[in-house]
Chains A and B, each alone.
Chain A
Amino acid sequence: MITERVLTLGALAALGLVALAAHVADEPFTVTLATRAAIFALAAVGLNLALGLGGLVSLGHAVFFGLGGYAMGILAWHAQMYQPMRIGPLEIAGTQSMPAIWLVAVAVSGLAALLIGLLALRTAGVYFIMITLAFGQMFYFFAVSWPAYGGEDGLSIYVRNGFPGLNTLDPIQFFGLCFALLAAATGLVAGLRRAPFGLALNAARQAPERVRAAGIEPQRLRLAAFVVSGAITGLAGALFADLNRFVSPAMFSWQLSGEIMVFVILGGAGRLSGPVLGAAAFVAMEHWLGGIWEYWHILLGLLLLGVVLFARGGIAGLVTGRSHV
């Protein structure tokens, strides 16, 4: 029996090896595909914390993905136009430095998750899904109609943002950055799961009455999980914008929220390896099946149907059996 730990490390290693092999074989496009998978996986690591462990079915995680994207887009746009941002008396020059952009992306999306969570967590079940979806739509239409940063057309950033000591324009180096962040986030979630916080969050999903009777407020756990979840997905959004050197309202769309959820469920909700497996499978299908057949989404739908009906543990569950979370 393969343990969760081996599977997670194996999935991460495989993704890294694919990128390295493609780099050696001089196929930068495949490196970019692997980068896309790593970024989607990072977004899914975020959602998996809320959905898989916390049982919070958020159909609005594109909010955080988009906020991360726009954090990058807006900061980099001001920097490339040499046009400082004015907020009241404050003047912010913008930046093309990735670490600074990441910090802003994490802070902004974490704050948004806190505010959305405070409201949305008053509800549960279908209402929670609807309220998170509603927030997603609000952000989407705001981004479409706000002319300052491109509105519907989005923002193009001409040069990929920089990271000290690296040439981020080199596909394999940018992949390395994304991969390192994915590994770090996976490690963070692995640590949380082993800690009392993860234990309590996991129990709150299954038996909230029990958790209360043990002296713990489930709502506080859920809110904390939602904030960390949103921050991680926001970071992924900033990377995604940098990958494409472009950000548009599509990053806020509910289709994107749905796709992040597909990564999680396809890979295995609540499983540590789930996000990587799900996102990698999605990107692989998107590329190869999409290249053969325009209607490949039908096959994805069938696969998802199969997973939900017959293999609740997703791909991770198929490999390791239905071991517990």
Chain B
Amino acid sequence: MSEAILSCREVTKRYGALTVSDAVCLDLRPGEIHALIGPNGAGKSTLVGQISGAIRPDAGRVLLDGQDVTDLPVAARARRGLARTFQVSQLAGGDTVRDNALLGAVGAAGAAFGLRPRRDLAARAAAALDRIGLAPLADTRAAALSHGERRRLEIAIALTLAPRAFVMDEPMAGLGPEGTAELTRLLDGLRHEAPILLIEHDMDAVFALADRISVLVAGRVVATGTVATIRADPAVRAAYLGEAP
């Protein structure tokens, strides 16, 4: 699709004889939540690495806003609006929640070498925390946050980046039912700000949120479609849901 904000074209990565990404094609369109599911070891994390820039594909291209970003490092892609959250929270634990959020605003503004405090950036960070409901914890150190609060802080940082596309690597991981429900509501509202590529194991959340689902099995996208199509797809049921076709 030409209007896709983020796309993978035949992205391929091999580790020795093992093909971890096998000519993966994937589109993230404006306004959608596109879920990427697949069993453990399907190559989801490797694919996220290639999309975010941490891993270089052996072949294929990654496009952001129609521009080839395959050769750009992580930071350059982030500056172009690729906002990712991590499977295992990556936060400056000794810093306050406010400072963590501020980091995203600083990065997005290209102000990392700024020598004066910036009120506008602080306001941007505060607005993101407010939206995510972390404003009351702004002065808390990130290390003191609960697991669920950390997940939300990751999303708040992504919000400060003026995102064109979100890539969220298992944002629900380790959350209880309540936390999952809360985060589901939150993500639901974010899709119109920027589309979300959602890598997730929690099937209830995926079925509740996704506009489209792609199924990754052994490095290959075996199916892409709406929730209903994927649920009905016999190949998917066999490979992923563990049912006989």
Interface on A for B, CB 8 Å cutoff? 191-192, 194-197, 199-200, 202-203, 206-207, 209-217, 220-221, 224, 324-325
**Is the interface on chain B under 10, 10 to 19, 20 to 34, or 35 or more residues?**
35 or more
> Which B residue's beta carbon lies closest to that of A188?
B115
**Given known A203-B100, A214-B107, A215-B107, contact A195–B90 (CB-CB < 8 A):** no
Describe A's contact surface by its main secondary structure: helix
Interface 0/1 of B187-225, CB less than 8 Å to A = 000000000000000000000000000000000000000
The segment out of B26-34, B78-86, B232-240 that lies at the interface is: B78-86
Q: How far is the CA of A191 from the CA of B115 in the complex (A)?
A: 7
Q: How far is the CA of A95 from the CA of B74 in the complex (A)?
A: 49
Most buried by B among A194, A212, A224: A212
> Which A residue's beta carbon lies closest to that of B108?
A215
Cβ contacts under 8 Å, B110 to chain A: 215
Q: Are A199 and B99 in contact (CB under 8 A)?
A: yes
Cβ contacts under 8 Å, A214 to chain B: 75, 78, 103-104, 106-108, 157, 161
B107: shortest Cβ distance to chain A, in Å?
Answer: 3
The segment out of B17-25, B62-70, B116-124 that lies at the interface is: B116-124
Q: How far is the CA of A211 from the CA of B79 in the complex (A)?
A: 11
Residue A199 contacts which of B75, B79, B106 (CB distance < 8 angstroms)?
Answer: B106
Per CB-CB distance, the 8 closest pairs between chain A and chain B, nearest first, are: A214-B107, A215-B107, A215-B78, A196-B114, A215-B79, A210-B90, A203-B92, A206-B92
Q: Are A213 and B86 in contact (CB under 8 A)?
A: yes
Q: Are B94 and A192 in contact (CB under 8 A)?
A: no
Q: Are B86 and A209 in contact (CB under 8 A)?
A: yes
Cβ contacts under 8 Å, A324 to chain B: 94-96, 141
Q: Are A213 and B84 in contact (CB under 8 A)?
A: yes
Q: How far is the CA of A199 from the CA of B115 in the complex (A)?
A: 10
B15 at the binding interface (Cβ < 8 Å): no
Q: Are B90 and A196 in contact (CB under 8 A)?
A: no
Q: How far is the CA of A31 from the CA of B79 in the complex (A)?
A: 53
A55: shortest Cβ distance to chain B, in Å?
Answer: 11
25 A-B contacts (beta carbon < 8 Å): A194-B117, A196-B106, A196-B117, A196-B121, A197-B113, A199-B106, A200-B103, A202-B92, A202-B94, A202-B99, A203-B99, A206-B95, A207-B90, A207-B92, A210-B90, A211-B75, A213-B52, A213-B90, A214-B108, A215-B76, A215-B108, A221-B112, A221-B113, A324-B96, A325-B94
B102 at the binding interface (Cβ < 8 Å): yes
Cβ contacts under 8 Å, A220 to chain B: 112-113
Residue A216 contacts which of B91, B106, B117, B118 (CB distance < 8 angstroms)?
Answer: B106
